[in-house]
Amino acid sequence: MAMALAAPARPWHVVTVNPEFVIRARRDPAFHAVLEAADLALPDGVGLIWASRILRTPLRGRATGVQTTLDLAALAGARGMSFFLLGAAPGVAEAAAARLVTHAPGLRIAGTYAGSPAAEEEEEIVARVRQGGPDFLFVAFGAPQQDLWIARNRERLGVRVAMGVGGTFDYLSGRVPWPSAAWRRLGLEWLYRLVHQPWRWRRMLALPQFAFLVLVSRLRGKSR
């Protein structure tokens, strides 16, 4: 990330990967290619930490979209850098921006826009981002649309870093309650979200699929 902030040769694409991403990428070649081409992949989800231990390639820790956004806001505020928040429902990005400025008083907000990943909006959104001239672009279109959108457009955006952040704006704005530290320490955000957003149950089906694939991979490794 320091390289991207210093003198980037091209905009960095940062992805926050969770088990749902892994399962989706297995059946979506375009999404798989985007994840492989990303400049930085952060483990967003306790499932990836568990998998890394099972497969004996342990990761140092998690980097959720919410916490990473807050950390980058503090860094950007200290350096007088700017954010553009793209996506989520109308008004949510603005509320999230207000929370970020409170968290990091030196942070500048170059713009916010709900928008969508629809092809007919693409040129207008790119123009808005370029006009704002942000250092960081955060895109909350949901997976896989947000990262496909960044991959298509990042060379035209004029930003240092572009990052897909899923539901981060909803949490920062207070629209959706953020799990307490106790839930997060136990790695039970998925259960907390399911209780508060029961419509997510279909997406949660990726979790047992992911666990099965990890265990099969471990067993195959043992048999070699």
The predicted-structure confidence for 137-148, as pLDDT tens digits, reads as follows: 999 999 999 999
- C-alpha to C-alpha distance for 45 and 56, rounded to whole angstroms: 17
**The whole model's pTM is what?**
0.90
Whether 209 is in a domain gets the answer yes
First to last CA, the chain: 37
Q: Residue ranges of the alpha helices (H) in 28-179?
A: 29-37, 46-54, 65-79, 92-103, 122-132, 145-157, 168-173
Looking at residue 9, its pLDDT comes to: 67
Q: Kind and range of the H or E element at 215?
A: helix 206-223
Average pLDDT over residues 100-124: 97
Domain extent for 196? 12-218
Q: Does residue 143 lie within any of the structural domains?
A: yes
Q: Which residues contact 55 (CB under 8 A, 6 or more apart)?
A: 214, 217, 218, 221
Largest Cα separation within the chain, whole Å, is 56
Q: According to the model, what pLDDT value does residue 221 have?
A: 78
Is 193 part of a structural domain of the chain? yes
Least confidently predicted of 14-23, 92-101, 179-188: 179-188
Q: Is the pLDDT of residue 98 over 90?
A: yes
**Residue 6 located in a structural domain:** no
CA distances, 206 to each of 91, 200, 202 (Å): 30, 11, 8
Three-state SS for 45? Answer: coil
Give the pLDDT band (50/70/90) at residue 224: very low
Burial 139-168 (b: 16+ CB within 10 A, else e): bbbbbbbbbbbbbebbeebbbbbbbbbbbb
Residue 5 lies in a domain: no
Q: Does the structure show a pLDDT above 90 at 2?
A: no
In DSSP terms, 40 is beta-bridged to 14
37: domain CATH number is: 3.40.50
Q: How far apart, in whole angstroms, are the C-alpha atoms of residue 173 and residue 99?
A: 7
Q: How many domains does the chain have?
A: 1
Whole-number mean pLDDT of the chain?
90
Residue 3 lies in a domain: no
